[in-house]
Structures are given as C-alpha cells and as structure tokens.
Structure 1
Amino acid sequence: MSGSLKRRNEMESNSAQVSNAGLSLFKFTPKQLAITSLSMALSIFIYAWFFGLWFSFLLVVMMLVHEMGHVFAYRIKKMESSPPVFVPFLGAFITSPDLESDREKEAFVGYGGPFLGTIGALALFGLWVFLPSHPSVLLLASFFATFMNLFNLTPIRPLDGGRITQIISDQSMYVGALVLIGFTTLTNSPILWLGWVFFLGSAKMEMRLKIRFGIVVQALMLLHILALWYFGASITSNWLAFIIFVTLINLTRYRRYAFLKDMLKHKEELSKETVKEYETALVQIIPELPKALIKTRLKWFVLYVGLLIFALLLMAIQVVIMVQRARIPLGP
C-alpha cells in the first residue's frame, strides 16, 4: 500500500511540474517576445526568397516547436530561459543557464528539443496524410523538420545529441565524429563543417591542439570551396557565412588561449584556485564530471536510441513517399 501511495505521489508531483511549466511557459517580457517575433519574421522573409513563402513559414514554425521543447524542459526543471531567437541559415537558439555541471538536467533539457520537434514533424506529416489535397509543401516541410531534429541528435556538443549522450558516455562524441565523416563525405553542406568545430569544442584535448585542428578544419573548408568552384559546382552564400563563423570561433579560441597563457605567467599574483582553473582550462574545456549511475545511463540510452529510431523511421517513410511522387514543388 505504501509503495502504491508513493508512486501516486510521484505521479502527482510530476503532473504538477508539467502543469506549472505550462503555466509559466509564456512568461516572457514584451521585449523578448518582440525579438522572437521579429527574428521569426526576418527568417521567413529571407527563406521565402529561396524556398517560397509557405515552405519557409512551416520550416520556421518547426524550428519554433523544437526550441520550445527546450524552453518547456527548462520550466519543468524550474529554470529560466529566454524565448527562441532566430538567425537565418543558422537556425534558432535560446539563452539559458549553463548545465554542464549537472549531467541529468543537461540531458533532460537537450532531449526536450528533438522530442517535441519530432512530434511536430509527425503532426505535419499527419496533416499531409489526412488532407484530401495532400499539399506537397506539408510533406517537404515535415521531411526537413525530421532531418533537422535528426541532425540535432548527432552526439556532439553543443548539438542536442551531445547534451543527451554525455550522461551515457563521454566517449559518445567520437561516434558523432564518425557520423560527421559520413555526412561530410556524402553531402555538400557547409553546416557539416560547423559540426567539426563543435566536435573540437567538445573533445578533451589541450587547447593549443584544438586551435591547430581548428585551423586545419578551416583550411579544409577553403579547399572544399575551391574544389567546388574548380569543378563548376554551385557555391551558395551559406559557404561564405559559415567560413566567417568558423574563423570567428578560431579567433575566439586563440584569444582565450593567449589570455590564459599570459595570466599564468603571473601565478604569484593569482589565488591557488584561479591558477588551477586556468591550468585546467588549458588542458580541457569540458570538465570531468561524476559518472551517472548505470540505471540512469541505461534509461537515457533507451530514450535516446528510441527517439533516434523513431525519427529515422519517420524520415524513411517520407523519403519513400517523395521518391514515389518524383517531384515536389515548394508551393502549396
């Protein structure tokens, strides 16, 4: 009887947490909501130049659903976050407290985005199935939303997959590196090179090595662009934007490295705690954390793999349908 009562209390507590999260979900300032609305409108406007209005609108809405999954997860954990801010061709992001010191919370918040995002993609696909006219734009937007969530499940920080799998194993990022190798080999997308920058950020190695590898990634990216140009392939403005972004990341990392080295030249003027912090930062950026319990790691492994398989199956169905339809215009 006591066990049953305990489970009931836990269920009521969880329900209360979800309810409170829902009530506080939209407690943002007018300024925050204005920034979200304007950045959404700007993204839709820019995307519409390339992909058409309806597809762009649905794509941005799917990004919003994904990001609100993170916001909702933060609320459940009784933590604050900003509403989503959209950046054309880079997606969307939220600002929030650092969770790298708490494996469980980071995994929970990381899971919220692709979980709700995949549900949103499924809902869009279901709408396409049940509408008599079967608008092609719904199917295509659903496919891209599914792909977006799958890419985010790549186990590399700061992608959601990296935030989830860090509780399973610190070595999961190397699986993500293999995924990136496959995608980079098979596709022609600048965002995959950005994934390599993420990998360097999450890898545990000396900062000076990260800087060197970052320069190598940047050089390979330039060679890739030159190869595309040489063989007559199209080079979009995305390539320029991403290489500028990678350059800024490398410069920021180098400035951080130079700052730490300079400060450590004057150890006698620093406290022991500060010296230890700086020396640790030079060796690895991501600090060591206590390992999660086997039961907890197994739970998150099942949740992660389950969501991954579900998203893959959904995308496989979408691909089969699109192949059968042969051509899918971007109009409604």
Structure 2
Amino acid sequence: MEATNQTGIPKFLLLGLTDDPELQPLIFSLFLSMYLVTVLGNLLIILAVSSDSHLHTPMYFFLSILSFTDICISTTTIPKMLVDIQAQDHSITYTGCLSQLSFVLIFGGLENCLLAVMAYDRYVAICHPLRYIIIMNTHFCVLLVLLCLGVTTGNALLHSLMLLQLSFCTDLEIPHFFCELVQVIDLSCSDTTINILLVYSGTSLFAGVPLLGIIFSYSHIVTSVLKIPTGRGRLRAFSTCGSHLSVVSLFYGTGIGVYMSSEVTVSPTKNAVASIMYIVVPQMLNPFVYSLRNREMKGALRHLITGVPSLL
C-alpha cells in the first residue's frame, strides 16, 4: 500500500462496533444511556464529597479525583462515537485521533495510579492509625495526585511523539470506536518496533507497578487486621476497604478479561466490543459500588438529594 506521512493524512476512519445500520440506533441509545449514567453518577459522588464536611478526608478526596477521571475517560471516547452514529460520518482527523489517544492514555493511566494510591491510603489508615493524619496530610495527598498525573501525561506525550515519527498507509480504517494506540500503530507502514516496545513497557509499568502496590498494601492490611482480637473489630477494619477492593476487582478483572479475549480471538470487532469492558463499564459502575457499599457515602448522597442530614 502507498505510504504517506502524517502531514498528508486527511482522516482516519473509525469503523465502530458494527456496520449494520439496523443496529446503529440501538448502539446509540445504549451508549448515550451509559454515558449519562456515568457522568451523573460520578458528579453526584463529587458533589456529595464536597458538600459533606464529614467526607473531607484523604480517602474521599481520592475518590473525588477518581470520579473526575472516570468522567474524563468516558467523555474522551463516547461523545465522538455518538456524533459519528448520528451524523453517519465515522471519520476523525489525524490531530483529533492523536488527541483522543493521548487523553485515553492520560486518564487510563491516572485511574490505575489512583487505585494504587487509594490502597496505600487504606494501608496507612489500618496499619498506622495513630500516624494517619500526619502521613496523609493535605499537601501529601495533592502531591500524590499531581505525581500520578505528571507520570501519566509524560507517558502519553512519549507515545504521541513516537507516533509523529511514523508514516501511514493509505488504508486508514481503525476497527474500533475510538483511536486506540495499538490499532493506530498497526496502520503504519514504518518500522514500529520501538513503538511496540514502548507499548509493552508502558503497559507493564502502568498496570504491573500499581497492581503490585495494591497487593503489597493489602497483604499488610490483612496481616494487621488478623491481629485484631475481636471479630467486630476485624469486620469494621475490612469494611473500610470493601468498596475499594470491589472497584479494583472490577477494573483489573475487566482489563485482564479484555487481554485474554484479545489473545484468543483475531476478530477486530470482538476486540472492540471487549474494550467496552474496561473503557466504559468500570467508569459507569464505580459510583454504584461506592454508594451501595459505603454507609458514609449513602448518607452524604441522601443529604445531597433530599436535604435530610446524614447520621454518622
């Protein structure tokens, strides 16, 4: 196929989940509903935390940042897909594709890091309760978030700069509903060895390191909780981790499921459908997990919606 550099690329074509016109209205309605639920649910979490002084703690500060990140991830991908379906135009400019790809990397990596930071917060709260306020002070919490954002932004910029060095073939069809890094690299007619190495190293860094941090934190948490003499005390300690563990299981479970499905199937469409499980579903369900499993959050949401003070 004829190759061209990025300056000569008119547009990419996002093929989406299906080319069946009869299914387009159903997909539009489904994704619009999921997007609205995601935005509304996470906004409620942010508003509940900001409006209730009882929740002005590090754990809920990180939860607010996680909810904001979930909104950003969904906004980066879903609205463009909805517009494409409505306008029957699935094209995206090179600049638009690169921007979308970068934001997905930034906020996806940020969510990974935040889950590890939240696990560390629970570790300090349970294993070092007397020093919790000193260690998890406001400046340190903000620094952790900024550090996570800086690292993930640097990673996204690195991948974007390496993509700028590639030449692309004239067949610019992306079998996905958003510009996914590996799919874009596959369209290149250049040598992509360095890009692929960066993908594998970046995936190992932003998936493996936070996951190891979570495992390390919870291994110490379990050890500390088992030393508590009363069953009620152990249950209370574990209850503060229940929501976070559910979110971690949802995020990493869907991510591993997508990876496994991509290994056993060569269908790009099936891979695109599987990607919904990590780019859409966790972001939509996270508010429900925290609101249903957390008594303090239930009270704050009840106060926000009905005006009835929470009894904590």
Judge same fold: TM > 0.5, yes or no. no
TM-score normalised per structure 2: 0.31
Task: Please report the TM-score for the alignment, with normalisation by the length of structure 1.
Answer: 0.29
